[in-house]
Amino acid sequence: MDNKKRLSITVIAGITVELLNKFIPFLMMHFAQRKVGIEGFGYAQFGISIIEVAIPLVVAGYNNYGTVTIGALGRNDSGKIGALIGDILALKLIHACVVFGMLVTLAFKVPGYSQYVPLIIALSFALLFSGTELLWVQIAVQRMAIASFFSAVSKLLSLALIILLIASPNDALLYAVLTLLSNAVFNCLTTFYCMRLYPPKWPSWQRMLVIVKSSWLFAVVYFLMIFMERLDLFVVERFYSARDLGLYLGPARVTHSILQIIGAVILAFFSEMVVIREKEKLTNYLRFGFWALSSILAPLTCGIWFVDQSILGLIFDQDFTEVRRVFSILVLGTICNATITVFGLQVLMLRNSTWKLARSLLAAAAVASILSLAQVHLFETPVWNLYGVAIAMIIGKIVGAALVVRDSKPFLSRLPWIEFRNTFIPAIFMAFVLALINSDDWLLNVMIGGIVYIIPMLWLSREQLNKVMTLIRGS
């Protein structure tokens, strides 16, 4: 199968199935939050966040190293790929055991965190299964369509169990377990699939040592990317009430789901760009990928301000509408997330400049940390404090995105400013029209906004649309 056909199938399947994948988590939160309450929801989701921050310490950059290595080897070298799989699986399982011990110890030692010990122990299975995950192999060998299918199946299972088993605030811990169960099932399916393609070989301590030395920078990048997405949750948990934590985690989790939809598009292009060496071809792929992302993000970030209250009210209790602007601010930050991921992973990391990506993320994390802690003393009411935390995260991400774009320029023939213009000018015009209408009917806003955005966007993006049609005809 040629690159164009594979890319078109991957993008279409990825977007379609990932839309289902991301709609299911909204249903999971909808059914669970109304049963466990605001504080129970916050407790469960914060425990999940602790595990999510710990997972990069398990993966430790090995997945990124493996993807790049397979790209260099070629996907037909089954012997070396099998040896690589065996070594990385062994390393990640060792990390999983160590990280679990560290988490439990820290939970007992950190003031106020002892209440999360039962939750951490119950969710520790996620660390083990993250150690066995082989999605990175599917990315490297361009087999992402089947991965999207596995993800949908696993999430449907978790949704069914949540509907059947979650009944009261006492089930908050069970809700957290069932939420992460989908990840465990997904990891099992991808591992079984990849092991059939490339049977793993017995690990070698000598090869494992080489991988550790080569992967540490990937580990730093992966940890900083997750840390930037979860830092605000730890600030809110530390300085504000359990109710504030629950309220903030609502819009935060919806935003994280949006970021995963973005990730589905990015992974489709990343799996192809692993093997690209020519500067002009790299630029064309990146421009096309950035246009695909911005065509989704532009109307979302400009239009969310007119439907934020309705979305939160549909998914959660009406109490969550108090933080509707927090939701809009967090969604606005997805532009920066997409920029960092596109230029950082698809350009800097694949061009042996991972250290530049790590430097940019470290600067972003430092700015966000300083500002989020400083704003604690600026605002008097909890809601305004939550706004301050969200704004601090946005400023940090802007710094990181600007640095990543600057460092990527030498590797590209040109930056995708045209693609940015072709999507965001129609989106800004859409926001202007919606502001003039000033309607509280979210469905009307979506319909009018969609029409106002799509027509000029399609006209301005004629070049990109011709490429899409070419890919579809080629498939």
Q: What pLDDT score was predicted for residue 472?
A: 45
How many structural domains comprise the chain? 1
Of the pLDDT bands very low, low, confident and very high (cuts 50, 70, 90), residue 475 is very low
Say which residues have a Cβ less than 8 Å from residue 373's Cβ, sequence separation at least 6: 235
**Is the separation of the CB atoms in 352 and 273 below 8 Å?**
no
- Please report the pLDDT score of residue 404 as a whole number: 92
Mean pLDDT, rounded, for 22-45: 89
- Which two tokens mark 188? 């099992």
The answer to whether residue 466 is domain-embedded is no
Nearest to residue 221, comparing CAs of 61, 406, 57? 61
DSSP result, 343-367 = HIIIIIGGGT-HHHHHHHHHHHHHH
pLDDT, tens only, 440-469: 888 899 999 999 999 998 888 877 677 655
- 29 within a domain of the structure (yes/no): yes
pLDDT confidence bin for 266, thresholds 50/70/90:
low
With 70 as the cut, is the pLDDT of residue 1 above it? no
Is the residue at 467 inside a domain?
A: no
Residue 247 confidence (pLDDT): 92
Q: How far is CA 231 from the centre of its chain?
A: 14
pLDDT at 272 over 70: no
**Cα of 240 vs its chain's centroid, Å:** 25
- The token pair at 43 is 């407790």
Kindly state the percentage of the chain with pLDDT values over 70: 88
475 assigned to some structural domain = no
User: Is the per-residue pLDDT at 219 higher than 90?
Assistant: no
Rounded average pLDDT over 395-411: 91
Instruction: Give the model's pLDDT for residue 19.
Output: 66
Residue 394, pLDDT score = 93
- For residue 91, the model assigns a pLDDT of 92
| Residue 61 is assigned to a structural domain of this protein | yes
Q: How far apart are CA 19 and CA 21, in angstroms?
A: 5
What is d(CA 351, CA 345) in angstroms, rounded to the nearest whole number?
9
Say if 112 falls within a structural domain: yes
pLDDT of res. 467: 63
- Residue 295 lies inside a defined structural domain of this protein: no
In this structure, of 171-175, 192-196, 266-270, 413-417, the range with the lowest mean pLDDT score is 266-270
Q: What is the mean pLDDT of the chain?
A: 84
What domain range includes position 166? 3-275+307-415
CA distances in angstroms from 344 to 14, 157, 471, listed in the order given: 21, 34, 26
pLDDT at 119: 87
CA separation for the pair 336, 394 (Å, rounded): 8
More confident residue, 150 or 433: 433
Say which residue, 218 or 447, is predicted with more confidence: 447
Quickly state the pLDDT bin for 112 (edges 50, 70, 90): confident
Flag whether pLDDT at 52 surpasses 70.
Answer: yes
Q: Is residue 427 part of a domain?
A: no
Asked if pLDDT for residue 160 goes beyond 80, the answer is yes
Position 269 scores a pLDDT of 60
pLDDT of 265 > 90? The answer is: no
- Between 123 and 412, the higher pLDDT residue: 123
